[in-house]
Amino acid sequence: MARVLMKGTEAIAEAAIQAGCKYFFGYPITPQNEIPEYMSAKLPKIGGAYVQAESEVAAINMVMGGGATGTKIMTTSSSPGISLMSEGISYIAGCEIPAVIVNVMRGGPGLGGILPSQADYMQATKGGGNGDYRLLVLAPSTLQEAVELTQMAFDLAQQYRNPVMILADGFMGQMMEAVEIKEHISENLPPREPWALGCMRDRGGKRAILKSLYLNPEDLERHNIELQKKYREMEKEVRFEAYRCDGAEILLCAFGTTARIARSAINNLRNEGIKVGMLRPITLYPFPKEKIRELATGLKGVLVVEMNMGQMVEDVEAAVCGKAPVSFFGHAGGIAPSVKEIEEQIRAVL
Amino acid sequence: MKEIKIYERPKSWAKDVHTHYCPGCGHGITHRLICEIIDELGIQDDVIGTAPVGCAALMYDYFDIDFCEAAHGRAPALATGIKRTRPDKIVFTYQGDGDLASIGTAEIIHVANRGEKLTTIFINNAIYGMTGGQMAPTTLIGQKTTTSPFGRDPELAGYPMRMCELLATLETPGFITRVSVAKPKYIIEAKKAIKQAFVNQIEGKGYSFVEVLSNCPTNWGMTPVQAFEWTESAMIPHYPLGVYKNFE
């Protein structure tokens, strides 16, 4: 497929189809409605199925069922919808079922607004639902990256038997950009037959039980220890971009669309001779804490810029570990930090 | 003398397990009926169950078939995802009255309205069993529970919900029936209905819903015999047995 001009939501949908996703369960919510619309038109034509669920609560449980058969499966929603899905996400993680969940974030809390936001960072990276579980969280900053991360998410979900979240701010969903979407063939993924529902014959008559209930405390602790082992293993999936960090005296930390805006500010200030660089986490979990510590040590300051009230700051502070002062600048409500504002903030750190 | 085997453990019953159910509970009877039907239809390797939250949460331990746990009330959505991705399999949900008629009302109405090719077994014993005997949406008027200590008052808690009648109002074709396991004669009818509900799915007909009037001697504060009698004398008059819809 050649490069085509596409809206972010549609690019994510087509990327999923090209990665082999034939089943989609969802519920309409702005600003991601183009994804269910796209899926409802395309999936029946390729032998798949689109089901419009009665709620996000039902949608995520349909995803759980589809994932439980070892099938590539996706749902998409936006912030309040993801809150409703959090119960199901906890069960999916507890039962170790692969699934891809896209959150095209809008402002909160509560009904908030429909404009772009990054205010679900905490919800995505710290849990959201009950219990000790983790999602792999991927944050695209361009539509091409959204395409690639979406396709990779299906492989990661299958590989770790874990829900993977694409955390895209509303800009990622609603802007248009030229993208190339290739067919993505998964390679070397573990087979579904040993664990998935519907494969009893393949197992020679051995049943599969997918559950998160362990009434015996020792069993539940063992289950949790196994999950934690998996989450430690997932840390090797850490991805980031270090932008113009050579000789930097100030380090910016930003993800998603905010990082794109920050890039312009960095370029402008570099032209003035101000040594500023950026560490952009691509995986928000696992968080690139070692890299941030390495880059931040001894700097004049680390500036975190987000479209929220400072949700990533705690993670950056933990990573920097006192080796440099950490400050924050952000907007909420659907307002993006401007290049000029970021430049002013960087100057203030100097 | 020729030996004739007249009774045995179903093949699809897991080996060497004993249920945790109380004496006189209807879950054991209904579980056995489902196992017998799985054996008779020869679908053990092709059937997938979803377990509820409630007394039957551990039912996957007793069935030698593929099973997935569902969150409270969400089994119909979970089963939808399973069946849509594996339409070649026979998928059933098994839910109690708190699960299906309270927290899962949205899911049960919409699974029936979409006409998913699934089978639901709904155990109605008019009480929350696992949590210790609280009021259910199906608790009868005047029935005392731990959260309706003076008896269910319709002014405060509304009237007991008749799920078969409610679902039968939907335009989507389906099989909707109410049976009981309170007496051998009812159990024979219950088995026929549950089997029909599985056969409907095998034939690709659509959604089948079997409500089973069951009993909870422990939380009703009765002996098993008194409980079976109460099912007949109090529950059946409010919840009439019969077929409410049959793909018409």
User: Per-residue confidence at A1, pLDDT binned at 50, 70, 90?
Assistant: low
CA dihedral defined by A258, A264, A266, A272, rounded to 10 degrees?
-160
Per-residue pLDDT, B6: 86
- Write the single-letter amino acid at A219: D
Tokens for B77, please give them: 């959505």
- Under an 8 A CB cutoff, do B81 and A87 touch? no
Residue B37 in contact with partner chain A when CB distance is under 8 A: no
Cα gap A190→A185, rounded to integer Å: 14
Q: Is A61's CB within 8 Å of B74's CB?
A: yes
Could you please state the CATH topology (level 3) that the domain comprising B26-246 is classified under.
Rossmann fold (3.40.50)
Give the tokens for residue A87. 């119960």
**Cβ of B66 under 8 Å from any chain A Cβ?**
yes
Using one digit for the tens of pLDDT, what is the confidence trace for A251-296? 999 999 999 999 999 999 999 999 999 999 999 999 999 999 999 9
- What's the pLDDT band for A51 if we cut at 50, 70, 90? very high
Is there a shared CATH topology between the A4-199+224-236 domain and the A241-349 domain?
Answer: yes
d(CA A129, CA A225): 18
The β-bridge relationship of strands A23-26 and A73-77 is parallel
The residue behind tokens 């589809």 is: A66
B23 touches chain A (CB under 8 A): no
Chain A segment 212-251 residues within 8 A of B by beta carbon are: 212-213
Bond prior to B154 in cis (omega within 30° of 0): no
Give yes or no for A75 touching B (CB within 8 A).
no
Query: What 3-state DSSP class applies to B49?
Result: strand
- Sequence spans of domains, chain A: 4-199+224-236, 241-349
B144 pLDDT more than 70 = yes
Taking CB atoms and an 8 Å cutoff, what residues of chain A touch B85? Answer: 23, 49, 65-66, 69, 71, 73
pLDDT digits (tens, 9 = 90+) for A88-109: 999 999 999 999 999 999 999 9
- Are A54 and B79 a contacting pair at CB < 8 A? no
CB contact under 8 A, B81 and A64: yes
Mean of per-residue pLDDT scores for chain A:
97
* ipTM for the whole complex: 0.97
Per-residue model confidence as pLDDT tens digits over A235-256: 999 999 999 999 999 999 999 9
Nearest residue on chain A to B14, alpha-carbon basis: A207
B198-244: pLDDT as tens digits: 999 999 999 999 999 999 999 999 999 999 999 999 999 999 999 99
End-to-end CA distance of chain B: 51
DSSP class of residue B80 equals H
Within 8 A of A200 by CB-CB distance, chain B residues are 44-46, 65-66
CA distances from A159 to A18, A73, A186, A191, A237 (A): 18, 14, 10, 9, 11
pLDDT for position B5: 86
Answer whether A69 sits within 8 Å of B64, measured CB to CB: no
A173-200 per-position pLDDT tens digit: 999 999 999 999 999 999 999 999 999 9
Q: Does B74 touch chain A (CB under 8 A)?
A: yes
Asked if B48 and B68 count as a contact pair (C-beta separation under 8 A), the reply is: yes
- Provide the residue ranges of all domains of chain B, joining segments of one domain with +: 26-246
Cα angle A148, A153, A158 (rounded to 5 degrees) comes to 140
CA distance to partner chain A, nearest, from residue B235 (Å): 31
Q: For residue A185, how many other CB atoms are within 10 A of its CB? A: 9
pLDDT score of A70: 98
Describe the crossing of helices A34-42 and A8-18 by its angle, rounded to 10 degrees. Answer: 40
List C-alpha distances in Å: A224 to A30, A195, B73: 36, 18, 25
The SS3 assignment for A85 reads helix
Q: Is B188 on the interface with A (CB under 8 A)?
A: no
pLDDT > 90 in chain A, percent: 99
CATH class held by domain A241-349: alpha beta
Q: Is the peptide bond before A109 cis (omega within 30 degrees of 0)?
A: yes
Q: Can you give the pLDDT at residue A329? A: 98
Domain A4-199+224-236 class, CATH top level: alpha beta
State the DSSP string of B168-212. Answer: HTSSS-EEEEEEE-SSHHHHHHHHHHHHHHHHHHHTT--EEEEEE
